[in-house]
Structure 1
Amino acid sequence: MSVWLPTAPCTPRDCAGHLGARRAPLPAAVLLTAGCALTLLGVACVPAVLLLGPAHRDRLIRGWAYAVVRAFGVRVRVTGVTAGEGRSPVGELVVANHVSWLDIPLVATVLPARMLAKSEIRTWPLLGPLAALGGTLFIERDRLRALPGAVRALAGALASGSRVAVFPQGSTWCGRSGGGRFRHAAFQAAVDAGAVVRPVRIRYLTAELHPAGAAAFVGEDPLAASLWRVVTAAGLTAEIRVLPPIPAGSEPDRRALARAAQSAVASDSANRPAESVHH
């Protein structure tokens, strides 16, 4: 198997259940319609948004992404370093654990960025066109020969001062365990570009603050089934914690940099501050 094709043991049957309260079909359908409509609106507005200056563009994207997550019936909780700090003066590689399709708009609520994504996402309804118009860097994961070119493209984007978001586990995990290890390739791009790495931890919780399996988008889960599971699961909260940046030059190589970022994300759950921002 190609090293660019990591797999997770998580499956919809074993990991994506919901034991909490459920919404009735009609309210759930309203949320599903609202979420999809806001996503389509984002697709339609991307060309105009790209004409704005970086500060105005980031503010608009954050507001839209937050509205999308809320429209699907999910609360948002932001902790750690907030977006008020603005962009890094150098390129910034945002790295997060990967649980759900919700991760993409969730990261954008705090750190609007270009995405690094598998090429299959280009064909997804709603999210595919939005990703392409938003400058997503697509990777052909089943072609190992394409990996050096993808690293060069990512390094070029970072060297130009862009912020790029990556899910270096390479696959979604249900969030009930530590997940897969961070792959090294994206971190080589950060080293080559002299960028900073911004670790981010994502969790989905029930109203009782237990891990929420309903948000997981794992295995051969159809997107439509995952969308319906999210809108029918009442009391979901998406929590994103933004951790301090790690300069690429602070570690000896890409492997050490990947380990440092993964350690920050994995260990953060045991060292959470009392203060947080609730939305």
Structure 2
Amino acid sequence: MRRLRVTARLARLLAVLGLGIGMASAMAAAERLGLKPSLQRRQRWSRRFMRHLVAALPFQVEVIGTLPQRPMLWLSNHVSWTDIPLLGMLTPLSFLSKAEVRHWPLAGWLAEKAGTLFIRRGGGDAQRLRGQIAEQLRSAQPLLIFPEGTTTDGRELRTFHGRLLAGAIDSGTPVQPVAIEYRRGGEADRLAPFVGDDDLLSHLLRLFALPRGQVRIHLLEPIESHGMERAVLALQAQQAVYLALFGAAPSAVTPAPRAQAA
């Protein structure tokens, strides 16, 4: 039964990946013909692909809250690679990702064609990235950032870094805090987190071998960015996510000193 479950889920996933490759190939072909798809179209196609991908993953998904009716900078805690399709299926949006992802086999190519913005850690391109984020938000195209900068095991929340929030402040775009939690058997899911030296294939096979887990996505009250300091904005978003995940505001958390503008 276990082997049959894994085989059936893998077959469905491969079919979805085939769909994604076909969509990305169509975009690439259009680019070669000088008909580069707009970011809006890329986001819509990406959302369609993400919805099919989530349907192939072993999760029951519950969304709590209301989808924003205007473009925002989404800020979410980060637990697993599955966060991306789970959040990407909700609305057309782009992601900010570390530069290494661009070079991942297949996944990097799909991410690039979907309109992902890539950031080099310590690459000295903070000003350029700040401008890109602000420009995208001004053009009414939502963007999602994982401000912890890394994944956790889902039982903690790390500091939200405010450096990447300057683009929201520059463009006057509100912030949409999002809390994502994975549950299994009434407790925090210890299988869904993607941390440490785990590799994607092994993680996927373990997920597919077990019954469905539960995912709750909390869409929290938006935060206006106008006139805010980025450290304070990050702190308010972090506190909102912490409250949704753990039922109490974090103690002894203070905003970092305001950094000089990049």
Q: Name the CA distance, whole Å, in 2 between partners of 1:195 and 1:166.
A: 14
Q: Name the CA distance, whole Å, in 1 between partners of 2:9 and 2:111.
A: 22
Aligned to 2:257: none
Aligned to 1:10: none
Aligned to 1:202: 180
Aligned to 1:128: 108
1:75 aligns with 2:51: no
1:107 aligns with 2:74: no
Q: Name the CA distance, whole Å, in 2 between partners of 1:79 and 1:221.
A: 30
- Displacement of 1:237 in angstroms is 1.7
Give the 3-state SS of the residue equivalent to 2:187 in structure 1: coil
Q: Name the CA distance, whole Å, in 2 between partners of 1:181 and 1:119.
A: 21
- RMSD, aligned α-carbons: 2.6
Contact kept, 8 Å, 2:43 with 2:114, in 1: the verdict is no
Aligned to 2:255: none
- TM-score using structure 2 length: 0.82
Contact kept, 8 Å, 2:42 with 2:114, in 1: the verdict is no
Q: In structure 2, do the counterparts of structure 1 residues 55 and 222 end up closer, same or farther at CA, with 3 Å as the change threshold? A: closer
Aligned to 1:149: 128
Correspondence for 2:163 among 180, 185, 205: 185
Give the 3-state SS of the residue equivalent to 1:247 in structure 2: coil
Structure 1 gap ranges (5+)? 1-22, 273-279
Q: Name the CA distance, whole Å, in 2 between partners of 1:160 and 1:261.
A: 23
- Displacement of 1:98 in angstroms is 0.1
66-75 or 180-189, larger mean C-alpha shift: 66-75
Q: Name the CA distance, whole Å, in 2 between partners of 1:102 and 1:158.
A: 24
Give the 3-state SS of the residue equivalent to 2:241 in structure 1: helix
Contact kept, 8 Å, 1:202 with 1:241, in 2: the verdict is yes
Q: In structure 2, do the counterparts of structure 1 residues 182 and 77 end up closer, same or farther at CA, with 3 Å as the change threshold? A: same
Aligned to 1:261: 237
Aligned to 1:17: none
Contact kept, 8 Å, 1:80 with 1:241, in 2: the verdict is yes
Q: Name the CA distance, whole Å, in 2 between partners of 1:131 and 1:215.
A: 21
Give the 3-state SS of the residue equivalent to 1:121 in structure 2: helix
- TM-score using structure 1 length: 0.78
Contact kept, 8 Å, 1:32 with 1:72, in 2: the verdict is no
Aligned to 1:28: 6
Q: Give a deviation string over 1:110-148, Cα, whole Å, max 9, x none.
A: 1321110001111223321111001100011142x1222
- Displacement of 1:151 in angstroms is 1.9
Aligned to 1:161: 140
